[in-house]
Amino acid sequence: MRLLQFLVIFLTGMLILMSVKYLAGLSDYLIPPPNEIVVLITRKSGDFLFPAINTTLVAVAGHFLAILVAAAVAFLARTGSRFANMVRTAAYNLQAYPVVAIAPIVFIFLGDGLASRLLIASLICYFPLLLSFLGIFSDPVTDVEHFFYQTGRLDSLTELAIRTFENLDKIITVVAGSATLAMVGTIVAEFLAATNGIGYVIRKSLYQNNLAVILASLFFIGLCSSMYLMAVETAGKIVKSRLLR
């Protein structure tokens, strides 16, 4: 379904672009003809598919890292303690900074390799995850927790298990939503300074004014994003059905 949605959107975009090209009589240099794009996507798919897979793998790793860190920080900050309030305030303040503005600092310290791409991918999806997890973990589920509280059994792990289970739908939605953000983060990092991935391919083609390569890259980015989103959503459904069965 996600793949179909992507194909419909991509083809609609292409249709609009080609309509503009032929109605306005724009040159092939400005907007390449459709056959050129089709040739790139079909015959030279390897030039785009492998960088796109590379980008997706970094995005997946960054996404997992962000989920783990956001969950851990939200777990520690779920109480009303000073530390918790400090983390909450820091999270709200830090998310106001665009990651693109922080990215140059990351590249200065970590170089243009994997570490920078991973960190930027994580950063871009970390704050939405953290804010959602903070909200979920700090909101008591009184009707379930009451018994454990009354009998002195409400330890941190029980509390976490209850709040996670009771908010499973929200968690699945926010994790799936942040998956696309991780992809965006990785591409942004590659576009800015990295030497690998589909974002790097786009940057090179931008210098050559090669729109056909950019459009072919967009096709493979969409393809990989859709596949990853599908995988995350399917994993969420499996987890949910197993827990509720």
Partner 1 sequence: MEIICQDLSFSYPEGDHALFTGLNFSISGGGFFSFFGLSGSGKSTLARLIGGLLQPDSGQIKKDGVVNGLLSYNTERLPGWMTVEEHLKKVVCPGRELLLDELITRFGLRDFIEHKFTRLSMGQKNRANLVRYLVQDFDLLIADEVLANVDEPSRNSILAFIKRRFPSKTFIYISHNANEVALFSKLIFVLPQAGPNGISSLVVISGLDAFGPEETDHSIVGDKILEILRASSQGHW
Q: Which is nearer to partner 1, 18 or 144 (CB)?
A: 144
Shortest Cβ 141–partner 1 spacing (Å): 8
Q: Which is nearer to partner 1, 4 or 244 (CB)?
A: 244
Residue 22 identity: Y
Shortest Cβ 242–partner 1 spacing (Å): 9
Shortest Cβ 142–partner 1 spacing (Å): 9
Shortest Cβ 139–partner 1 spacing (Å): 15
Q: Which is nearer to partner 1, 28 or 155 (CB)?
A: 155
Q: Which is nearer to partner 1, 10 or 148 (CB)?
A: 148
Local structure of 77: helix, strand or coil? coil
Q: Which is nearer to partner 1, 112 or 166 (CB)?
A: 166
For 227, the token pair is: 């596949």
Shortest Cβ 176–partner 1 spacing (Å): 21
The Cβ of residue 93 has, within 10 Å, a number of other Cβ atoms equal to 9
Instruction: List residues near partner 1 by CB under 8 A.
Output: 143-144, 146-147, 150-151, 153, 161-162, 165-166, 243-245
Shortest Cβ 143–partner 1 spacing (Å): 5
Shortest Cβ 72–partner 1 spacing (Å): 21
User: Is 192:100 a contact under the CB 8 Å cutoff?
Assistant: yes
Which has the closest alpha carbon to 67: 206, 216, 171, 223? 171
CA gap 190, 198 in Å, rounded: 7
User: Is 55:183 a contact under the CB 8 Å cutoff?
Assistant: yes
CA gap 210, 19 in Å, rounded: 19
Which has the closest alpha carbon to 213: 58, 53, 39? 39
Kind plus residue range of the DSSP H or E element containing 42 = helix 34-43
Say what angle helices 168-192 and 198-207 make with each other, to 10 degrees.
Answer: 40
Q: Which is nearer to partner 1, 115 or 161 (CB)?
A: 161
Say what angle helices 168-192 and 99-110 make with each other, to 10 degrees.
Answer: 60
Q: Which is nearer to partner 1, 16 or 239 (CB)?
A: 239
